[in-house]
Every structure is written in C-alpha cells, then in structure tokens.
A and B are shown apart, each in its own frame.
Chain A
Amino acid sequence: MHEILGMIPSILMMASPILIAAMGGLVSERSGVVNIALEGLMGIGAFTAATVHVLMEPSSGLSVWYALAAATAAGLVVSVVHAFASVSLNADQVISGTGINLLSTGGTVFLCQVIFHQERTEPFQLGMMPSWGGIYPTAWVALFAIVGTWYILYRRPFGFRLRACGEHPQAAASAGINVKAMRYFGVLASGALAGLAGACLVLTETIQYTMYTVNGAGFIALAAVSFGRWTPGGVGGASLLFGSAVALAISMVNISGLRILPTEFFSILPYVITLVTLIIFSGKDHAPAAVGLPYEKGGS
C-alpha cells in the first residue's frame, strides 16, 4: 500500500498532460468537431516548450513559464489549420486531423535539425521543479483545466451555446448562435490546451524532445474523452485512470505484488478499457449528436 501511495506524484505527473489534452478534446467535440490531431498538437507543444526552455534556461529563471506560454500559443496557431479545414471548408474532420499528425512529426524533427543540427532538441538542465510533496505544478494546471472547462461549459451561457452547436447546430443557428464561430473556439481551445499538455509532458517526464516523446498520449486523451462520456468529471476520472495505468507500466517492476504480470499488461489497459466500455455502453450514445458532421447554412 505504501508503494502505491508513493506513486501518487508520478501518477499525477503522467495523468496531468493526458487530462489537459483531454479537456481540449472535450471542448472541441462538444462544439461538434472531432480533433484527432491532439497527438500531433501535443508534439508541437512539447517541441516548442523544450526548445524555448533550453534556449532561455541560462538567461532566465522563468524560462519554464515562457515555455508553457509558447507551447500554448504554438498549439493554438497550428490548430487554426484544422479549424479552417473542418469548420470553414466543411472538409472531412478526420482527414485534416490526420494531416496535422503526420505534419507534426516531420515538422518538429525538421526544426530540430535546423536549430540543433540533430534529430532531437538539446537536453535541458532542469525541467519543471516539483512543489510540495513531490507533486509537479502541472497537477495544479490540470486541476485548473478541469474546473475551468466545467465552469465554462456548464455554468456560463457561452458554454450552453457551445454545447448546442455540438448537439443540433441548425437549432442553435436558428436561436441566433454563430455556429462556425463557436466551432472555431472549440478547435482553437483544444489546440491551445493540447499544446500546453505537450509542454507539461516534456518539462516533467523527460529532458528533451524527440519524435517519441508524446508516444500516444494524445490518442489516450482522445480515448479518455469517449471513456469519460463527454463530461468534464468523467473525462478527468478517465484521464487519472489512464495516467495510473501508464505510471504502473513504468514502475511496476518496483512493486513486488505486480511483478508477475508482463509490463504490456498495464500498457494495454487504457486501450482495452476504452474499447470494452464503448461496447458495454453502446446502447446509449453519449457522444454529442452532431460531432464529426460539417455544418452548412441552410442544410437540414
């Protein structure tokens, strides 16, 4: 039991980036746009944060925070492509998301080659420093993300309108809501949060950006949105669960009771749980009704 308690900081470290990116995915999907590019946007955020941090580290004590801000901005800017394709041009949302994912790996490693003349960023000396109890400040960022998302989506008229665009865009439009603007907000918010999530990941879990840094965390976040049934609390819980599974897969060799299981058991867990829950709860569809569908004015 003591071993499990001792793992709490590392569970929170693993879960925070997943949770932050999942909140982005949640906002985007509630507005009606699937953002399969979370993985690629996290990569772009992670690369930006690692680069800004390693370049500013010698000169500024606040470089970690500049890195977080820059990563958020980078994620936001790149997600404009996805928003433009899927909202303005009514293109297939999965295709433009896939394009960003492909572009992210190539683009970030290419920039590493240009800036650092190698396939990864230079390692930084110190990442983010853990605060009280060995818990990284990213946990507080994650907490803020979940509370903020809940407040905006469920306690503000704005969030009510945004959710309407994901359920029935035609009805929302007839009530005077600008559906395209709402969906732009959803996608850009998810881009910013995914960029921030990538930064949190690279600054706490590792010391440099490589093309394997994100390694599926964005897809796990996407799964957390489905598993958490498109509510902030559910998605937060799912992210914590998936984060624990990832942390257990890494540190289970230290826990005597779990050593008999293969490491792959915990690695596989988030994906199997998601698939099984999707099957079990298949009778009732919790997804926003209009998610993935383009909205055209005058369409029925």
Chain B
Amino acid sequence: MTGTSRLPTEGPAMPRTFLDAFINSNGALSILVVLLGFACGTLIIMAVGRNPAGLYLALLQTLTGFNATTGVWNARYVGEWLTAAMPLILCGMSMGFAARTGLFNIGAEGQYIVGLTAAQFVALYAPPFFGAEWVVCLLAAAAAGAFWGGLVGWLRARFSVSEVVATIMLNYIAFFLSRYLTRLIPDANTYRTPNFPGAAIIPRWFIDDLTNHSRLSAGIFVVLACVILYWLVLERTKLGFELRATGLNRTAAGYAGIGVNRCFTTSMGIAGAFAGLAGAIVALGSFSYGRVIGGYDNYGFNGIAVALVGNSTAGGTLLSGLLFGMLSSAQPLMQSRQIPKEIAWIISGLVVVLVSLRAGIRLVIAWRAKVAAARSLAEREAAGA
C-alpha cells in the first residue's frame, strides 16, 4: 500500500469489530470463498454416494507427494503440481494486470495460444543462440502475446471496442490461425510438428533429480521472476501508479493528466506478455514437439478464476494459481480414488460464482449493520424519552 502514499489518505473507517475487519479484508473473503467452494464440492461428492475422503487424499498426495493409502512418498507429484500451476499463475497475472487498469481480459486464452505458436515457430526455425535458444523463444512468445493483448487495448482506446467482445473474438481467431500456421510447417501432420532441437527446450537442471523426473522445468524461475516484476511494476513505478489510478477512476485519472488511452494499450500489452510466456512455458517445458492444438488448453480461462480469487495482487495470484494448479493436477489421483475428476472444475466454477456474490455478502453485512444502528438509536431515544 506504500505505493499509494502520494494519494491523500482517505482510508476506510477503523474496523470496530473482528467481523468488520474480516469483511473489509479481500484476502479473508477469498479464503472464505475457497472454503465454501470446497464445502460445496464435498457435499456434491457425498450426494452422489462417494467418499469425500478420496478428494482430500488426492489433494494431500499432490501437495506433498505422500500417498496416504500406500504409504509411498514420491516427489514427482509435487513437480507435476508446480508444472500445472505455472501457466495458471501467468494467465492469472494476465487477467489481473488488466483488471487493475479496469479492463476485463477474457483474452488470456488467445494470448496464450499466440505465445505458444510463436514459441514453437522460433524453436523450430531460430538460428543458434549460445545454446540457449529457449530464452529467445520465451522472449518471442512474450512479444507475440503482448501484440495480441495490446491490439485489444488499442482497439478499446482508439475505437472504444468492448474489450470483452474483442478478446472473445481474438481467442477464436488465435486458435484457428495457430492450427492453420502450424500445419504449414514441413513434415507437420494434423496434430504435431517434428521434434524441437534440444537447445530450444527449457532446461530442467537440478529440478529433474529433485522432483523425481517430473515435467517441471526452469520455467518456474521465470514465473517467480514475473510475480516479482508484476508487483514491482504495479506498486513501485510511475507507470503502475498511472495504471492503478486509471483502474480506480478513469475520469479522475484523465483530469490528473494521465493518458488513459495509452494506459489501456500498455496494460493489455503487458497482460498479453504474461499469457504469451505461459504458452511458451507449456510448449517448450512439457512437450518435445510442436502441437497443432485441437482445442483450448483452458489455462487462459482458468486464469480468470485465479485472478479473481487472488484479488489481482501479485502474492494473491501466486497463491491462488498454486491452489488451482493443485486442483487440476490432482484430477487423475481423484479418478483413481473413485472421485469423478470433474469435481475439480465444479469447485473452480463455484469459487468464481461465489466471488461474484462476494459483493452481495458485503451488502448484506452493511445492511445488517445499518439495521442494528437504527435499532440502537431507537432504543436510546426510547430510553431518553
């Protein structure tokens, strides 16, 4: 919050009770929403006659690698969990960064696809670069994502095209373009291209031994760097201040001399770069060949949920990305414990619906406080009379 110290401190009234403090804390409400989502998921499992313990055993195994049924410990599950979390955290930051500027970026999926496609092309065709071609691939993916996202911001700024409709359209355009372009690669068939050269694949270094040959790559360090960068840019720079000011009140920001239109394009560009990186990390970290994608990977859409639960802050998005990554990588483990794996999607969906009701929880609390205040006033008047 120190980044806003230049603003006059208006701040909310001091919380009077623990309940007030709880309701006014976004983080606490997020935790409540997630717990409610899990509670509903548990009830649904019980309603269809399965044992919800299987859900939690699967989650425990994902988190710690410990299989409580057999007593066997395997670090690979932890690696797979972080592998699933990486693109979710990045796509969550894509959604979140735009949200902090007051834009609703449903386009992380498209930006992810564009980044993935660019990374695959560069991986297959780039000239040698000191044996670290994967770095070039990541940069190309970020640039491609930034272009795809920035385009939406520019259309919004220049032509006031709704970013919601534009991003949905661009998701589909990215999908079909990617399929078409990737199949043009020589020796590509309907689902894959030839193998990437070794130097284009994101290295695994010591992580490979540490996580017992999971698919986790050095991309995890890129993700952590991005989380820090996200925080630095938004909270510690003039640009971040302008973006947040635009998000809070674009009219006021405009009067204060902030170029609101420029902010839209910049913000969507940076958001797109995060999602583009996610595409590259999946393409070059988890696969050894280029894919002709047959459908959405859904990291971009799930990134919406990640950002909403993480309140679009750097730390929050990291944590909620880890949470949703845990849910998705626990799916096969649920299935083997007779829990339908779709329960993971149901919990994600429920959490988003509950986030939208969060405003309502506040309204109800505020209304009850008002009623209580009116009653105590009436009592005091009655006592005085």
Contacts and interface: CB of A to CB of B under 8 A. Distances in A.
Interface of A: 34, 36, 81, 84-86, 88-92, 94-96, 98-107, 109-110, 113-114, 212, 216, 219, 222-223, 226, 262, 264, 267-268, 271-272, 274-275, 278-279, 282, 285, 287
Contacts of B346: 103, 106-107, 110
A85 B159 contact: no
A85 B308 CA distance: 15
B336 interface: no
Ranked 5 nearest A-B pairs via Cβ: A106-B345, A103-B349, A89-B360, A99-B352, A99-B353
Given A222-B168, A223-B168, A275-B170, A114 B48 contact: yes
B249 interface: no
Interface stretch (B74-82, B174-182, B194-202, B256-264): B174-182
A282 B160 contact: yes
Contacts of A90: 359-360, 363
B21 interface: no
Contacts of B12: none
Given A113-B342, A226-B165, A100 B349 contact: yes
Interface string B346-365: 10111111111111100100
Given A100-B353, A102-B345, A106-B348, A85 B176 contact: no
Main secondary structure of the interface of A (DSSP, over half): helix
B59 interface: no
Nearest to A274: B169
Nearest to A97: B356
29 contacts: A34-B164, A85-B356, A85-B357, A85-B360, A90-B359, A91-B357, A94-B164, A95-B308, A95-B352, A100-B353, A103-B353, A104-B349, A105-B342, A105-B349, A106-B345, A107-B342, A109-B342, A110-B44, A219-B168, A223-B168, A226-B165, A267-B176, A268-B176, A271-B170, A271-B172, A275-B173, A278-B155, A285-B160, A287-B162
B350 A103 contact: yes
B155 A264 contact: no
A36 B305 CA distance: 15
Given A102-B301, A110-B343, A272-B173, A95 B356 contact: yes
B284 interface: no
Given A85-B357, A274-B165, A279 B363 contact: no
A278 B166 contact: yes
Contact of A278 (B159, B295, B355): B159
B34 interface: no
B356 A262 contact: no
A248 to B, nearest CB: 14
Interface string B140-168: 00000000000000010001111011101
Contacts of A282: 159-161
B330 to A, nearest CB: 14
A92 B160 contact: no
A200 B170 CA distance: 27
Contacts of B354: 99
A173 B59 CA distance: 50
B348 A268 contact: no
